[in-house]
Amino acid sequence: MNQAINQFESLSILVVDDSLVQREHVISVCQSYGIKNITTAVNGKEAIEKLAITKVDLAFIDLEMPVMDGVSLIREIASQKLLKFIIVLSSKDPTLILSIGTMAQNDGLCVIGTFKKPLQSSFLHASLNKMLNEKNRQNKQTQSYDLTAEDLLVALDKDNILIHFQPKLKVEILLLSGVEVLARWPHEKYGFVPPDKFISIAERFGIINKLTLIVIEKAFKQKQLWKDKGAIFNMAINLSPISLNDKGLTEKILLLAEKYHIIPEEITFEITENAIADHVSRAIEVLARLRLKGFQISIDDYGTGYASVQQLSRVPACELKIDKSMVIDIAICPQQQAILKSTLNMAIDLNLKTVVEGVENLDDFNYLRQHGVDTMQGFLLAKPMEKNRFEVWWKEELSLLRKKYT
């Protein structure tokens, strides 16, 4: 707790509310977490004036205020990019607060809480943690890598692209249902280059089909080795949207499957929601052929794209993989809960199993278990691991995890 308080100490906060009592209440809850740098405003107009001259990390925004209300303020903050993090507070109906939070999120703000007044201390604590996590994530993403397509080609040719495995667990009894194969590039200068960085290079410079097949071959080879030892579980492999252009992809996959005695039903190909939305007929063609051969298809990163229910219903998928952005901190975020609920209903209607990724904390884990998700993946359960580490985890640590969480 003390460490958390120290972390929050440096935050600067703006409280926008026309009621003195409510302002003072928020200030005192913030102060109980060590926050000292607090500015106030009595309406949206004053808030914008203050934001122009003060650096603020987080604003608490009341909805009903004279002169300029909370909704206009949120719009203004988003369009002028005055700050990133907000908490919406109101004495109004929770559904209304929620929908305004969703509007703000769609405007590009990071809404770390939408609460009915008065602000509760435990909610604020969870929101502040969410904000720090998000900031850390953003800091990591801004690390820049000076990488070229040539570097990547050399790495592929020297067999320097590796695969790691992240478990997917059945929710009720934490049974291993499968692993996701994730590409890794150990680089002499940068350590492990995250796949988000090099997959995009591969996609832009026409190397992605080569990379995809290398990953698939490594995965199939490992699958066969595990199978020979009696270890049978599903293996999920990511397909780039660009792969949908490779007309010969299915045949190449089938040849590799034959070489390594792979049973297609034990392999899932993950393809992102956006790839489906952007190229629906091409996606259906490739995916239907894979599906006809028995491979499983998963709609990946669901919730980050804009595929319509109609488009999704035409894809021969078996699984809907709900993106971590919808999952992280779900236990404290009513907007995410509302979206998850409708997503799970849609999955039932489309006859899709559901997997959630990004399960990072126990509160989210418990929330998701109680709300009808089939399978989970996330750092709380297991991080992506190289083969030997995964084997130890499976043999020794999974049963401990089961004891701890079930």
Q: Per CB under 6 A, does 169 bind ligand C2E?
A: no
Closest of 366, 395, 358 to residue 166, by C-alpha: 358
Q: Which does 199 bind (CB under 5 to 8 A by kind): Ca ion, ligand C2E, none?
A: ligand C2E
Whole-number minimum distance, CB 240 to ligand C2E, in Å? 4
From the CB of 15, what's the least distance to ligand C2E, in Å? Answer: 30
- Residues that contact ligand C2E, how many (by CB under 6 A): 24
Among 46, 62, 151, 301, indicate the residue that binds ligand C2E (CB under 6 A): 301
What are the residues binding Ca ion (CB under 5 A)? 238, 270, 300-301, 323
Minimum Å distance from CB 74 to ligand C2E? Answer: 26
| Residues 311/284, Cβ–Cβ less than 8 Å | no
Q: How far apart are the C-alpha atoms of 234 and 265, rounded to whole Å?
A: 8
- Of 61 and 326, CB closest to ligand C2E: 326
260 touches ligand C2E by CB under 6 A: no
User: Which one among 78, 286, 356, 359 touches ligand C2E, defined by CB under 6 A?
Assistant: 359
Question: Should residue 178 be labelled a site residue for ligand C2E when binding is judged by CB under 6 A?
Answer: no
- Where residue 301 falls (left for φ over 0; alpha for ψ -120 to 50; beta otherwise) is left
Instruction: Give the interface segment with ligand C2E, choosing from 139-147, 170-178, 191-199, 336-344 (CB under 6 A).
Output: 191-199
Please report whether residue 303 would count as binding ligand C2E according to CB under 6 A.
no
Element housing 157 (H / E): helix 149-157
Q: Which element (helix H / strand E) includes 102? A: helix 94-106
Counting contacts by CB under 6 A, is residue 182 touching ligand C2E? yes
Neighbouring CB atoms inside 10 A of 326's CB total: 22
CB 244 within 8 A of CB 283: yes
Kindly state whether residue 86 participates in binding ligand C2E, applying the rule CB under 6 A: no
Site for ligand C2E in 195-214 (CB under 6 A): 195-196, 199, 212
Give the DSSP per-residue string, 230-262: T---EEEEE--GGGGG-TTHHHHHHHHHHHTT-
Interface with ligand C2E (CB under 6 A), residue from 105, 234, 240, 296: 240
Task: Count CB atoms within 10 A of the CB of residue 346.
Answer: 16
Three-state DSSP class for residue 37: strand
Q: With CB under 6 A as the contact rule, which of the stretches 18-26, 151-159, 250-258, 355-363 interacts with ligand C2E? A: 355-363
**How many C-beta atoms lie closer than 10 Å to residue 21's C-beta?**
9
Closest-approach residue to ligand C2E (CB)? 378
Instruction: Please tell me the distance from the alpha carbon of residue 187 to that of residue 296, in angstroms, as a whole number.
Output: 32
Q: Interacting stretch for ligand C2E, rule CB under 6 A, among 18-26, 58-66, 286-294, 353-361?
A: 353-361
Distances (CA, A) of 264 to 19, 82, 199, 256: 63, 51, 25, 11
Binding site for ligand C2E (CB under 6 A): 166, 182-183, 194-196, 199, 212, 215, 238-240, 270, 300-301, 324, 357-360, 377-379, 384
